[in-house]
């Protein structure tokens, strides 16, 4: 069996470790106490396993022979068994490795519940995620291209390559997401407070991601200049109506 040294010949800043006192973390030392903790996996393994999780839990569970329920959950142990079978170099993976990835994911892209795991957003599968719908921010943001801006403002937001529209918590989050598609993203602001009050269901997915089936045009406008200058950081104000690469 390969040793940790063989799997981790160089110390990488994004390695996954476990502090005995403060739990899982990414980096070389615990951000709370500064201890090195126990090594779990290096950055390359973290990235590759993360990509496999994203593909399997968002798009193609059948590729790994996994049964997914209507809320997007699969068995953690079945996922590990499938990962080992399809990628034998990960024979050492145990449940705590996957839980560590989930708990330290900076975007909150995954969820673990008892012995089940799922992605919280990014799906191309038709699911009923049943995510939280309370404490939705008064405003949310969406990135688009200069070419698509006018048509979206006229017709509203609808899903394209995903099953649901993905909204961002802040201008900065939306700009970061939009920069993947274009160097000059246009950021739209959604009047989430009014939308929720008028019956639109918005769900909180990741730490900065919100999901909705569509956004009619009356709730959309181009983000004002002050949002661009301030980065669109939201305060504590939020709506509590029910119906978030």
Residue pLDDT tens, the chain, 245 long: 444 443 444 444 579 999 999 999 999 999 999 999 999 999 999 999 999 999 999 999 999 999 999 999 999 999 999 999 999 999 999 999 999 999 999 999 999 999 999 999 999 999 999 999 999 999 999 999 999 999 999 999 999 888 999 999 999 999 999 998 889 999 999 999 999 999 999 999 999 999 999 999 999 999 987 676 665 454 333 333 323 34
Contact 131, 118 (CB under 8 A): no
Do the domains 4-119 and 136-235 sit in the same CATH topology, yes or no? no
* CATH number belonging to domain 136-235: 3.20.170.30
User: What whole-number distance in Å separates Cα of residue 30 and Cα of residue 148?
Assistant: 44
Which sequence spans correspond to the domains of the chain?
4-119, 136-235
User: What whole-number distance in Å separates Cα of residue 98 and Cα of residue 79?
Assistant: 10
* CATH number belonging to domain 4-119: 1.10.10.970
Is the Cα torsion angle 111, 114, 117, 121 positive or negative in sign?
Answer: negative
Count of CB atoms situated within 10 Å of the CB of 237: 9
- Say what the pTM is: 0.83
Residue with tokens 């034998």: 88
Nearest to 39, CA basis, from 96, 86, 82? 96
Nearest to 157, CA basis, from 108, 204, 219? 219
What's phi and psi for 55, nearest 5 deg? Answer: -65, -45
């Amino acid at each position: 069996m390969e040793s940790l040294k063989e799997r981790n010949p160089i110390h990488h800043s994004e390695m996954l470790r476990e502090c005995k006192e403060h739990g899982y973390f990414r980096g070389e030392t615990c951000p709370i106490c500064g201890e090195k903790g126990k090594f779990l996996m290096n950055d390359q393994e973290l990235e590759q396993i993360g990509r496999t999780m994203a593909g399997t839990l968002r798009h193609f569970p059948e590729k790994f022979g996994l049964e997914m329920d209507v809320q997007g959950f699969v068995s953690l142990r079945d996922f590990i068994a499938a990962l080992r079978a399809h990628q034998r170099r990960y024979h050492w993976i145990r449940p705590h490795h996957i839980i560590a990835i989930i708990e330290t994911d900076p975007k909150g892209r995954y969820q673990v519940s008892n012995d089940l795991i799922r992605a919280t957003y990014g799906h191309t599968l038709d699911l009923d995620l049943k995510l939280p719908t309370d404490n939705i921010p008064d405003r949310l943001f969406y990135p688009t291209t200069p070419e698509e801006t006018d048509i979206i403002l006229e017709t509203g937001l609808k899903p394209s390559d995903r099953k649901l529209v993905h909204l961002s918590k802040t201008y900065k989050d939306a700009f970061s997401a939009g920069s993947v598609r274009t160097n000059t993203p246009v950021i739209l602001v959604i009047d989430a407070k009014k939308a929720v009050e008028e019956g639109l269901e918005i769900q909180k997915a990741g730490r900065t991601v919100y999901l909705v089936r569509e956004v009619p045009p009356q709730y959309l406008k181009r983000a004002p200049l002050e949002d661009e200058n301030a980065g669109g950081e939201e305060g504590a104000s939020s709506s509590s109506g029910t119906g978030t690469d």
